[in-house]
Amino acid sequence: MKKYISALLMGAVLIGSFSFSTLEVEGAAKVKAVAYKNCTELNKVYKGGVSKDAKTTNKGGKIKYKPFVSAELYKLNEKSDRDNDGIACEK
């Protein structure tokens, strides 16, 4: 009987932890992609700008902040990437 209760409790803990981790991932994945009017507006939300992928490097020299990585967000704000290095509005 003790083994049955232990197994039942372990199952409940595993299911509960899986449910919470799934919620966190879903919440993080729901970044709303917005086309910003200019870099000033974009940098209010994303201090380091927006990068199209994590492997992209800045061509324009040293930057203060790490850019936020989002291909969809970058695509909407690609017009703000003046040096065409894959990072829009880097600081």
pLDDT at 3 over 80: no
Tell me what pLDDT residue 50 has. 97
Residue 88's pLDDT band, with cuts at 50, 70 and 90, is very high
Tell me how far apart the alpha carbons of residues 87 and 56 are, in angstroms, rounded to a whole number.
7
pLDDT at 73 over 50: yes
Q: What is the pTM of this model?
A: 0.65
* One-letter amino acid for residue 38 of the chain: N
One-character DSSP codes across 6-53: HHHHHHHHHHHHHHHHHHHHHHHH-PPP---SSHHHHHHH-TT-EESS
- Residue pLDDT, tens place only, 11-57: 666 565 554 443 333 444 556 899 999 999 999 999 999 999 999 99
pLDDT at 85 over 50: yes
- Which residues, in sequence order, are CB contacts of 33 under 8 Å at separation 6+? 70, 72, 73, 75, 76
13 and 57 Cβ atoms separated by less than 8 Å:
no
